[in-house]
Amino acid sequence: MKPYVFITRRMPEETIADLTDRFEVKMWDHEDIPAPREVLLAEAKKASGMITMLSDKIDEELLSAGENLKVVANLAVGFDNVDLEAATKRGIVVTNTPDVLTETTADLTFALLMAAARRIVEAADYIKADKWKGWGPYLLAGNDVYGKTIGIVGMGKIGEAVARRAKGFGMDILYHNRSRKPEAEKEIGAIYSSFDDVVTKADFVVSLAPLTAETKNLFTAEVFAKMKKSSIFINVGRGPVVDEQALYEALKRGEIAAAGLDVFEKEPISAGHPLLELPTVTALPHIGSASTETRTTMIRLCSANVKVVLSGDTPKTVVNKEVLQ
C-alpha cells in the first residue's frame, strides 16, 4: 500500500501534485474551516505524513496516535502549535516554511501600519455607509507615517524587511531582539535598543516576536502605559504575546492612539470580540502571508518536504534537526 498523507485544509490539486502522484492523499474538504479534533486524531492514526496549519493543535495526544507518522509539515514559519519534544521523541520530522513569506508578510505589516495610522478601513466604511456629506479640515484625520519613529520588537527576517520599508519612509528605526543585528544596523540604520526604550520612544510599536515562554504576555498594561498617547501598536507576530484585555483598556482610556492587529490570542475571533468594538482598531484575519504567490510557494514547500521524508531523503526546512541525527 502507498503511504497515506492527510492535509488539514483543501488546497489546489496542482500544488500537491508531487504527493498525489506518489501517495494516497486525502484533504479536509474545507479551505477555511478547521478539521474537528476527532477528525485530526482519526487521520493521524492512519497517516504517514500530514500537512498542517498553524491553528491545528499537533500535541502529544495526536502524535502518539500517529503510529505510522513520519513527518508533519506545518504551513507557517511558526511552529508553536506543534509539540516538538513529543515529535522528536517519536522520530517524527517537523518542517516549516521559512524565508518564502518574508517579503509578503513585511508588505502586510507595513500596509496594516499605514491603514491604522491613516484610518483607511474606517474611511472606506464611512463612504460606503453614505456618511460623506462634505469636506472638513479634520475629517477622518489620521497620523503621519513619514519621518516618525518605528520600534520593532522581534528583528528576524520579517523584522528586517519591515525596517527596510520604514527606511524608505524616512523613519527612525529602533529595534529590540534577543541578539543584535550588526548588518541591519549598518545597512538600514536600525538602532539596537532596550525593550523599554522601544516602547517609550516609538511612534509605531510593531510586534513581530515569536511566541515563547519569554514573550507570552510581553505586552501588558504596564507596557502600554509607558507608550506615547499618540503611539500606534501593530501586531503581526503572535497573538498571545499581548494581554488583549490590557490592550483594550489602554485603547479605551486613550493611553495609546490605535492598534493594527493581524493576530489574536485565540483564533478565529468573532464579531463580539471587545477589540472589534473600538473604532481605533484595524483588525485582519491572520493574513500576513496571504498572497496567492506566497501561499502557493508555501504549500509546494510543504508538499516537497513530505515527499522527501516519505521517500527516505532529507527535507529542506527541518525544525527538529536532531531527529535526523
Residue 148 · residue 167 · CB < 8 Å:
no
Task: Report CA-CA distances (Å) from 117 to 18, 112, 257.
Answer: 44, 8, 9
Residue 53 · residue 75 · CB < 8 Å:
yes
Instruction: State how far the Cα of 325 lies from the Cα of 321, in Å rounded to an integer.
Output: 7
286 is catalytic: yes
60 is catalytic: no
Catalytic option among 119, 286, 295, 300: 286
30 is catalytic: no
Instruction: State how far the Cα of 164 lies from the Cα of 302, in Å rounded to an integer.
Output: 28
Q: Where are the beta strands (DSSP E) in the chain?
A: 4-7, 24-27, 49-52, 71-74, 93-95, 149-153, 172-176, 191-192, 204-207, 232-235, 258-261, 281-283
- Residue 160 phi/psi, 5° resolution? -65, -40
Place of cell 529590540: 176
* Beta-bridge mates of residue 74: 52
Residues in the chain: 325
- For residue 233, give the C-alpha cell: 501598536
* Beta-bridge mates of residue 24: 4
Catalytic option among 238, 244, 295, 300: 238
User: Which residues are catalytic, by number?
Assistant: 238, 267, 286
